[in-house]
Chains A and B, each alone.
Chain A
Amino acid sequence: MEKRVTFGKWTIGILFAVPQLLLIFTFFYWPAGQAVYWSLTLQQPWGGGNIWVGLDNFRSILSNADYWNSITASLVFAGISTGLAMFIALVLAALTDRQLAGSRLYRVVLIWPYGIAAPALAMAFRFILAPEAGFMAVVNRVWPGFWDPGLDGADAMASIIVAFSWKYVGYNFIFFLAAFQAIPRSLIEAAAMDGSGVIRRFWDVQFPLITPTIFFLLVINITESFQDSFGIVDIMTAGGPANATNLMVYKIYSDGFKGLDYSGAAAQSIILMLLIIVLTIFQFRFIERRVHYR
């Protein structure tokens, strides 16, 4: 879509774009390029510039069991938390959309969690899920040793999944509800006239119409689970126990800033960037075209 009427002096026009161009050059393109450069070189410990090592950084990363462990942990985290957050949100949104008495209240309250900073909610869940105080302690009283995120990797993973999903249920809920409400009422009423019940209408009318939203949220949730998980991991588990929750962004942070291995961290960044770019392209090219019912 283009404007028919524009302003003549295009030199002024470019000036308007300059602030943003400077910002994205300095803080986006340069660092991104730098990451590529670092990932292909090795910094000499005594200074004196970088030496070219080709793909060696990638080779050493990809042959490192810790890194594969981090990828597996990230994928498990992304898969379960996305599934959980989206399923719960879908159910709640579908039910809220029935607009029974009180649905306004749910519309207001259910989005609160999304406003909370990941570290703050992580702190709250760290207490709620703590083995010695809080609420899981009650379970531990009944079955001693049942729950301890500080020692058991699976428990730690479960804790960060619960915290992340809690936040993103609210986020997904907003989008699902908007999608449901965009469906014309007449469609639902016509289906009801033809004798279909509530469940039938959900599967045959509403669900197909919101598939674009489902795929959109799928991609957003997965990418967010890579980024927004950092605060949760840092507060709740710090990557432990025994690297069970050492997700990719957390590993980049600890390798790069604690281990001071810039080249290794840069190589990991590149791999993560590629992963996210593939997901985004997938969203824009594939999903936007295939899933279109209108």
Chain B
Amino acid sequence: MVERTPFLNFFTHLILFIGFIFCIAPFVVVVIAASHNLKDVNDVPMSLLPGSDFWVNIKTAWTTADLGPKLLNSFIMATGVAAGKVIVSALTAFSIVYFRYPGRMLIFWLIFITLMLPLEVRIVPTYAVVANVLEPYQAILDLTGISWLIEKVSGVQVQLSLGLLNSYSGLILPLVATATGTFLYRQFFLTVPDELTEAARMDGAGALRFFIDILLPLSRNNMAALGTIMFLWAWNQYLWPLLITTDQSHAMAVTELKQLIPNVGGIPEWHIAMAGTLIVMLPPLIVVVLMQRWFVRGLIATEK
């Protein structure tokens, strides 16, 4: 603030406050609606004073959509994606930054291009690959004539097949196969002083030792930021789990919400739907609130 601007200050407060209300209102409405009973929630206008059925509704939503195991599934998947990203991208960035080998730039660009096409866009063929992940390798063997050769020599027909539909790996692996984290690490590794590498080498550390004992501890901030952002991203995935998990035992909390959409006939059970919505939106919200610093940092760092 450089000068006195009482009028403008008033408008600043006013507009920010309106923005604040609009931002917070949906959360408040969800909580209040989740506390009403069937009659009150369908009242027009709905009372903004909380009702008394909050825990009953939460319990009903929990059992109707079977949210316990679903939340566990979501948690496993989101943790898997976050961990996979944090580890795989660190390895790749290390390889790209700290080694010189032919084809290094090719690898860099191969990874870079994956940033362009999100999963949603290539959903149909990716689904087919996950139905049999070894299909690409089978096709390569067929095309190069190796499978023909094997069949001639040993009489065994090569038929590679491994379906990952309805499995955690099928859910997690395709979501890990993007470049977001790699560039975050790359930027950071480039700022690590060369003297550190020299000193480590002088003390007799090899590549692996340097990576584990020096580089990874230094990247702790990056890992926290990347982990937070990837956890949220994976938790909030919808289209991919919807396709991959036809089996109820692997369904996610977010996809299960669809079960709670009130049907058109009869009086809509919005109180149950809102209770379910609250349960599903709470874990990521807690992560955002507790990990705010890493969240903001990760968001800005992964996109740029």
Contact = CB atoms under 8 A, between A and B. Distances in A.
Given A133-B41, A174-B300, A223-B118, A100 B12 contact: yes
Given A24-B110, A95-B16, A117-B235, 4 more contacts: A11-B101, A103-B16, A112-B27, A266-B125
Given A28-B114, A198-B8, A265-B124, A132 B268 contact: yes
B194 A4 contact: yes
Bin the interface of chain B by size.
35 or more
Contacts of A166: 22-23, 26
A175 interface: yes
Interface in A204-231: 216, 220, 223, 226-227, 230-231
Q: Tell me whether chain A's interface is mostly helix, strand or loop, or mixed.
A: helix
Contact of A123 (B100, B207, B257, B264): B257
Nearest to A140: B44
A28 B177 contact: yes
5 contacts: A115-B287, A121-B26, A134-B270, A235-B261, A262-B124
Nearest to B228: A115
Contacts of A16: 91-92, 94-95, 99, 211
The residue among A30, A252, A256 with the most chain B CB atoms within 10 A of its own CB is: A30
A9 B207 CA distance: 8
A120 B95 CA distance: 39
Interface string B242-277: 110000000000110110110010001010011011
B59 interface: no
A227 B44 contact: no
A128 B194 CA distance: 57
The residue among B23, B129, B135, B300 with the most chain A CB atoms within 10 A of its own CB is: B23
Contacts, number: 317
Contact of B44 (A111, A133, A170): A133
A169 to B, nearest CB: 7
A125 B257 CA distance: 13
Contacts of B89: 20
B37 interface: no
Given A17-B107, A117-B280, A27 B270 contact: no
Given A106-B20, A220-B303, A235-B258, A120 B281 contact: yes
A5 B197 contact: yes
A10 interface: yes
A52 interface: no
Nearest to A22: B177
Give the top 3 A-B pairs by smallest Cβ distance, nearest first. A13-B99, A10-B101, A16-B95
Contact of B136 (A26, A98, A141): A26
B45 interface: yes
Interface in B38-84: 41-46
The residue among A5, A91, A115 with the most chain B CB atoms within 10 A of its own CB is: A115
A118 B233 CA distance: 11
Interface stretch (B150-158, B219-227, B291-299): B291-299
B244 to A, nearest CB: 11
B88 A23 contact: yes
A249 B114 CA distance: 18
A127 interface: yes
Nearest to B190: A1
Interface string A222-256: 01001100110011000000000000010011001
Given A108-B292, A174-B296, A123 B260 contact: yes
A13 B26 contact: no
Interface string B169-201: 000011011110010000000100010011001
A31 B16 contact: no
A5 B190 CA distance: 11
A92 B16 contact: yes
A15 B95 CA distance: 8
A26 B131 CA distance: 12
B101 A24 contact: no
Interface in A81-97: 88, 91-92, 95-96
B1 interface: yes
Interface in B107-141: 107, 110-111, 114-118, 120-130, 133, 135-136
Contact of B277 (A15, A120, A141): A120
Interface string A255-276: 0110000100110010011001
B91 A117 contact: no
Nearest to A230: B239
A124 B26 contact: yes
Interface string A131-172: 011110110110000000010000000000000001001110
B122 A32 contact: yes
Given A14-B101, A19-B88, A19-B92, A112 B285 contact: yes
Contacts of B124: 35, 38, 252, 256-257, 262, 265-266, 269
